[in-house]
Amino acid sequence: MLGPFLETLIGGLLTGVLYSLVALGFVLIFKASGVFNFAQGAMVLFAALTLARLTGEIDGREVHLANFVIAAAILGTALAFVGWYAWREYMARGGGPAERNRMAVLAVVGAVIGGAVAWFYGKGSWPLWVALPATAAIMGVLAYAIERLVLRHLVNQEGIILFMATLGIAYFLDGFGQTLWGSDIYKIDLGLPKAPIFLFEDVFPGGLLVEPGDLVAALIAGLLVVVLAIFFQKTRIGRALRAVADDHAAAQSVGIPLNTIWLIVWTVSGFVALAAGVIWGAKLGVQFSISLIALKALPVLILGGFTSVPGAIVGGLIIGAGEKLSEVFLAPILVRQFDLAGGGIENWFAYMLALIFLLFRPQGLFGERIIERV
Q: Does 77 bind another protein (CB under 8 A)?
A: no
User: Which segment (130-138, 230-238, 251-259, 286-294) binds another protein by CB under 8 A?
Assistant: 286-294
Binding mask 245-284 for another protein (x = CB under 8 A): -----------------------------------x---x
Binding mask 343-362 for another protein (x = CB under 8 A): xx-xx---------------
**CA distance linking residue 177 with residue 36, whole number of Å:** 21
Binding mask 310-339 for another protein (x = CB under 8 A): -------------xx--xx-----------
Choice from 293, 317, 319, 353 touching another protein (CB under 8 A): 293
Q: Which amino acid belongs to residue 232? A: F
DSSP labels for 256-307?
Answer: --HHHHHHHHHHHHHHHHHHHHHHHHHHH-BSGGGGGHHHHHHHHHHHH-TT
Choice from 292, 340, 355, 356 touching another protein (CB under 8 A): 292
Query: Smallest gap, in angstroms, from Cβ of residue 28 to another protein?
Result: 23
Residue from 266, 349, 242, 374 nearest 47 by CA: 266
**CA distance linking residue 71 with residue 99, whole number of Å:** 28
Q: Does 285 bind another protein (CB under 8 A)?
A: yes
User: Which 3 state secondary structure label does DSSP give 318?
Assistant: helix
Q: Does 235 bind another protein (CB under 8 A)?
A: no
Choice from 11, 110, 277, 311 touching another protein (CB under 8 A): 11
Q: Does 115 bind another protein (CB under 8 A)?
A: no
Q: Does 290 bind another protein (CB under 8 A)?
A: yes
Q: Which is nearer to another protein, 91 or 197 (CB)?
A: 197
Query: Smallest gap, in angstroms, from Cβ of residue 63 to another protein?
Result: 7
Choice from 77, 156, 157, 183 touching another protein (CB under 8 A): 183
Q: Does 102 bind another protein (CB under 8 A)?
A: no
Q: Does 193 bind another protein (CB under 8 A)?
A: no
29: left (phi over 0), alpha (psi -120 to 50) or beta: alpha
Q: Which amino acid belongs to residue 101? A: N
User: Which segment (89-97, 119-127, 177-185, 250-258) binds another protein by CB under 8 A?
Assistant: 177-185
Query: Smallest gap, in angstroms, from Cβ of residue 133 to another protein?
Result: 26
**CA distance linking residue 5 with residue 10, whole number of Å:** 9
DSSP labels for 230-270?
Answer: HHHHHSHHHHHHHHHHH-HHHHHHTT--HHHHHHHHHHHHH
Query: Smallest gap, in angstroms, from Cβ of residue 44 to another protein?
Result: 12
Per CB under 8 A, contacts with another protein among 37-66 are: 59-60, 63
Query: Smallest gap, in angstroms, from Cβ of residue 84 to another protein?
Result: 31
**CA distance linking residue 366 with residue 311, whole number of Å:** 5
**CA distance linking residue 347 with residue 356, whole number of Å:** 15
**CA distance linking residue 23 with residue 294, whole number of Å:** 7
Output helix, strand, coil percentages for the chain, rounded to the nearest 5: 75, 0, 20
Distances (CA, A) of 342 to 188, 197, 334: 36, 32, 8
Using CB under 8 A as the binding criterion, the count of chain residues that bind another protein stands at 39
**Bridge-partner residues for 197, per DSSP?**
210
Q: Which is nearer to another protein, 144 or 349 (CB)?
A: 349
Q: How far apart, in Å, do the first and last CA atoms of the chain sit?
A: 55
Q: Does 20 bind another protein (CB under 8 A)?
A: no
φ/ψ of 208, rounded to 5, equals: -105, 125
Q: Which is nearer to another protein, 305 or 315 (CB)?
A: 315
Choice from 178, 252, 259, 363 touching another protein (CB under 8 A): 178
Binding site for another protein (CB under 8 A): 4, 7-8, 11-12, 15, 59-60, 63, 175, 178, 183-185, 187, 194, 196, 206, 209, 211, 280, 284-285, 287-290, 292-293, 296, 323-324, 327-328, 342-344, 346-347
